[in-house]
Amino acid sequence: MVTRRRWSELSNRSRRLIIAGAAFEGVLKIAALADIKHRPANQIRGSKSGWATAVALVNSAGAVPLAYFLFGRSTPDARQVRNHP
């Protein structure tokens, strides 16, 4: 049986780990959403709105933003990179 603890019952170490994890996930989500906003749609696998919705709404302990950075972005063609000023 799992006993639920209140915030006041947690150790200082546990509280710091929870806060650090939440901050890490928040930074990942902000970075992913900023990248989705500024990246052209042809450089994203899938729809921009789909990724943005998943990143913003799914409580994932950072898994969805990491999945976006690893699998959601496609690399630009070499021609696009060469012709870019």
* pLDDT value for 5: 87
Nearest to 53 by CA among 63, 43, 64, 61: 64
Angstrom CA distances, 53 to 8, 11, 24, 49, 74, stand at 33, 34, 19, 6, 19
Please give the chain's pLDDT, 85 residues, in tens: 778 889 999 999 999 999 999 998 899 999 999 999 999 999 999 899 999 999 988 877 778 888 888 888 887 664 455 555 5
Its pTM stands at: 0.73
